[in-house]
Structure 1
């Protein structure tokens, strides 16, 4: 039998090269169910992350480290435990992404759901430093590692499911609900902490009150499981998976038949494409897209500075009231719940790149007066500028990136590409932004202008990365997949 032909550099081997199934037999899209499933899962994921981020700023820096640690060092150590879950997310992408592209988006969605839910619940059961010493932060770090690995598969799979189930004219709007879920989860996590910080005595908050928000994640897991168990794989993925199996079966049958060398060569080429590992394809043929997404995903720095660093700065350095600062985050997230669907719809109408870049640069500009207001303790300005920066501008980028990033990759490697690119960016921003912001702020923690400059530089780099991307808002998913030159080459030979 002839060996499969070599694949020209710059092209991508893909599996979608066999004849399409009939329209009567084709699987149906369910955009509403897919959007709801993605929304709930994202709400859980970011409830868990936001609960921890809030706890890290308010109580973990006290309970899980020695009492004689200075406030600045304690904040830095707690920010490091926030960051570790982001640092391991690229590892999770290497595991979860190929699993989703090979075995299905739903499989990874269910797996990540229970992993992140269980690890969050366990955090609420951990002993403190005063009870077990150094074992406490070590167990805390282990739970955060599990959270990070599971989250890397959750988001990429959820975005792919909602994108591939969406109507062609509303892909950005449909996928935006995934990020709407993240904002709701963040809002819920912050809101859950408010009554504990406002009404519980300090002793009760530090002993058991901080644990309750972590335990509540069990209810979100149950709701998400009920919704997701009825979700079907997207039609595009089902068709790709069927073509993979057909290609393998065709090769087996061809081995038992006497075919001319040219026909055998085409059969072997199709089967070879079917056997390619999604991770290998992404690393070899979509490196530029992965790098672009990784840079763009660092827009998450704005989120980290707003929800984690500025909260710690306001309460530990400036001395502002904890529960009132939590209401600032709540207000920003409420505004985001309104802005995200509108921004997603705008990206369908005007293009992904315009909406994303406007949001990134707008957030960079407003960061300066926001942190100035925090330093001055000006509550009206803190609330207004926080809502504008986070609830409006950052949410414009946040709503747009699911479709923008996902459309940079074909169906056969979509989750692997999204997961790897975003998780590298999230690792750089979420893993190092809290620590870098704390270092830039200095040993006294009061250099807020330096933190604003740091955020602005990141936002500019993000905007440059997106400016180099292809605009896909006005293309169909089939047209995006058809841009794969390897598929065109194989079809010409059929």
Structure 2
């Protein structure tokens, strides 16, 4: 299935430079806030929550797996969020729905910062933590597709992947903000794995979650100044809205829903292996066979260095997807991911790994991640017609999060314990092959008319 669609002749609304800049800022700021909230939890899930919310488990691996289980709850909430927010995004508009998703995520993150620990409230503490994590997933489930549509439905002709690349930059920017703040806190307040005393473990870990409120206010200010996208307005004026977008997307767009899910699944798997799982493996005890024995502070530093490769990959992919096409770009990057997965032992073997080899692993992984992640905010919306685009792209994106991200840290931790680090790389390679097959089954979407219904 290699047919190429010809450019559409539909006249697109024109925007001045100021309007386009406002759209870029709104999509970027919103996703940065959302991903900041998400990564703050990811960092705490490794360094804080196993000790403060699951201390009844004497085995650290069991406590870590329990923490990863709550981490994965957000990915169960994300498809539901894509359905709920997608319904309103396709019914009442992109702008109002984006505001609601940002509020949902921000409030849940702030409340994590005031939760009691296990020592204070017993089993109620992890239960409340799980609930807030699920609400984070609801908010992010509606955020990404809305931001992607904001960018793609207002893009210049021939530059849609470049325009859609901007909300994708929210991922590395949010990561920099969250992990950078954690690094400052642990460097200032002190942090030792396994201890629950000290300023950081007593109160310092709460600061990143509480500061989310400030970032949400900024995000809301930017988004309230936006107007509705002209593509959605056109659908409303022509009477093409549907009453039940979820039912409509399964009735008319089931194939792109399946393809979009599996196109995205390797992207998610790679990302949460090179961010969440590798953090736990990197700081795990080398003597006990749990990891590489790198200090938490040092590991945060090399993670922050590697994130710039993520940014570079996203910027490059936006250009490549417009010039070479979505299908060709994603296929090439998928082959790189397969090779990278098979090379895991070269970088992370407990017998030979160093801080330098770990930095190389993270830098290469983040760069490949940027290449595969960058075009996704163009590709997934392009698979669906206007009247179900918010719902369809959101469901595909977030179903992939369950299959790829929710289980990745859990599976990788179990694989390392049973078979060693090479098995984690094989796991990534297998998932990448699945995505490559889905990519080869899709049509090229570079010239798809976004006003089509």
Are the counterparts in 1 of residues 344 and 425 from structure 2 also a CA contact under 8 Å? no
Are the counterparts in 1 of residues 294 and 355 from structure 2 also a CA contact under 8 Å? no
Q: Which residue of 1 aligns with 2:369?
A: 394
Task: Provide the C-alpha distance between the structure 2 equivalents of 1:68 and 1:276, rounded to a whole number of angstroms.
Answer: 49
Are the counterparts in 2 of residues 80 and 434 from structure 1 also a CA contact under 8 Å? no
Q: Which residue of 2 aligns with 1:413?
A: 388
Task: Provide the C-alpha distance between the structure 2 equivalents of 1:466 and 1:427, rounded to a whole number of angstroms.
Answer: 19
TM-score where L is the length of structure 1: 0.83
Q: Which residue of 1 aligns with 2:125?
A: 136
Q: Which residue of 1 aligns with 2:307?
A: 333
Query: Residues 182 and 471 from structure 1, CA distance in 2 versus in 1: closer, same or farther, beyond 3 angstroms?
Result: same
Q: Which residue of 1 aligns with 2:194?
A: none
Indicate which of 123, 128, 136 corresponds to 2:112. 123
Q: Larger Cα Rg: Structure 1 or Structure 2?
A: 1
Q: Which residue of 1 aligns with 2:91?
A: 102
Task: Provide the C-alpha distance between the structure 2 equivalents of 1:358 and 1:282, rounded to a whole number of angstroms.
Answer: 29
Matched, 1:174 2:149: no
The 5 A counterparts of 1:233-252 are 233-244=228-239
Q: Which residue of 1 aligns with 2:434?
A: 461
Query: Residues 63 and 147 from structure 1, CA distance in 2 versus in 1: closer, same or farther, beyond 3 angstroms?
Result: same
Cα-to-partner distance string for 1:416-456 (whole Å, 9 max, x where unaligned): 1101111111122222222222222226xx72111111111
TM-score where L is the length of structure 2: 0.90
Q: Which residue of 2 aligns with 1:322?
A: 296
Q: Which residue of 1 aligns with 2:277?
A: 309
Matched, 1:284 2:257: no
Shift of the alpha carbon at 1:171? 0.4
Task: Provide the C-alpha distance between the structure 2 equivalents of 1:330 and 1:357, rounded to a whole number of angstroms.
Answer: 28
Secondary structure of the residue aligned to 1:472 is coil
Shift of the alpha carbon at 1:396? 0.7
Cα-to-partner distance string for 1:377-418 (whole Å, 9 max, x where unaligned): 31222212311221x211111001110111001111111110
Indicate which of 41, 46, 61 corresponds to 1:72. 61
Are the counterparts in 2 of residues 27 and 238 from structure 1 also a CA contact under 8 Å? no
Cα-to-partner distance string for 1:145-178 (whole Å, 9 max, x where unaligned): 1110111111111101110011121100011111
Secondary structure of the residue aligned to 1:477 is coil
Shift of the alpha carbon at 1:67? 4.3
Q: Which residue of 2 aligns with 1:214?
A: 209
Q: Which residue of 1 aligns with 2:360?
A: 384
Task: Provide the C-alpha distance between the structure 1 equivalents of 2:190 and 2:183, rounded to a whole number of angstroms.
Answer: 13
Shift of the alpha carbon at 1:225? 1.1
Q: Which residue of 2 aligns with 1:229?
A: 224
Task: Provide the C-alpha distance between the structure 2 equivalents of 1:39 and 1:371, rounded to a whole number of angstroms.
Answer: 36
Task: Name structure 1 gaps, 5 residues minimum.
Answer: 1-19, 245-272, 485-494
Secondary structure of the residue aligned to 1:66 is coil
Task: Provide the C-alpha distance between the structure 2 equivalents of 1:350 and 1:338, rounded to a whole number of angstroms.
Answer: 18
Task: Provide the C-alpha distance between the structure 1 equivalents of 2:22 and 2:392, rounded to a whole number of angstroms.
Answer: 24
Shift of the alpha carbon at 1:276? 4.2
Task: Provide the C-alpha distance between the structure 1 equivalents of 2:207 and 2:60, rounded to a whole number of angstroms.
Answer: 25
Q: Which residue of 2 aligns with 1:158?
A: 147
Shift of the alpha carbon at 1:226? 1.3
Q: Which residue of 1 aligns with 2:5?
A: none
Task: Name structure 2 gaps, 5 residues minimum.
Answer: 1-9, 192-197, 285-289
Q: Which residue of 2 aligns with 1:10?
A: none
Shift of the alpha carbon at 1:338? 2.3
Q: Which residue of 1 aligns with 2:199?
A: 204
Shift of the alpha carbon at 1:284? 0.6
Are the counterparts in 2 of residues 372 and 448 from structure 1 also a CA contact under 8 Å? no
Indicate which of 407, 416, 431 corresponds to 2:406. 431
